[in-house]
Chains A and B, each alone.
Chain A
Amino acid sequence: NAGVTQTPKFQVLKTGQSMTLQCAQDMNHEYMSWYRQDPGMGLRLIHYSVGAGITDQGEVPNGYNVSRSTTEDFPLRLLSAAPSQTSVYFCASSYSGGWEFFGPGTRLTVL
């Protein structure tokens, strides 16, 4: 199993640009989530999903969209990037809500 994969590893955007961060898992996990981690801080939940077609907001959803059309994929879309969205983004998956599998992260810089 590849586990949880994320692409890209690094990305630089200009203010106002849009992009999609990709997350995929090959463990047939129903639960998936997106977090952001700012320097010196814990992770903050952006959006999560408990199955294909089901998504819900976390602590900091503004400026981000998600969809879950398949069990394997959970992309995160930045609609109009802002410098405040500069962060490291982690995707996580779980079989039963235990949140034990994290992806390697995407480091995003918005200029």
Chain B
Amino acid sequence: EAGVAQSPRYKIIEKRQSVAFWCNPISGHATLYWYQQILGQGPKLLIQFQNNGVVDDSQLPKDRFSAERLKGVDSTLKIQPAKLEDSAVYLCASSLREGIGRSYNEQFFGPGTRLTVL
């Protein structure tokens, strides 16, 4: 079974430029997550999709970050304009479905995109 795919793996940009990341979740997984992991810290959830709808984007800096999952499969995360503090690894994860009741559906993570903003 293919895992979560992300591209590009690495990206270097100047501050104030724009950048976009792409994620393809595991086939059949309804829930998709984007995380930001700053060096030396654990991943922080940016946005969670259930199919093509947003479940939670409370920690997404909406003045510069946007994300979409138009057909409920692939997703893109965009930063415009980028700041120095956006340098991080951006991880995408997917799960079969959102947790229901006391169940939890394991999240599977992609390799991440390492962004460096100069």
Report if A and B associate in a common complex. Answer: no
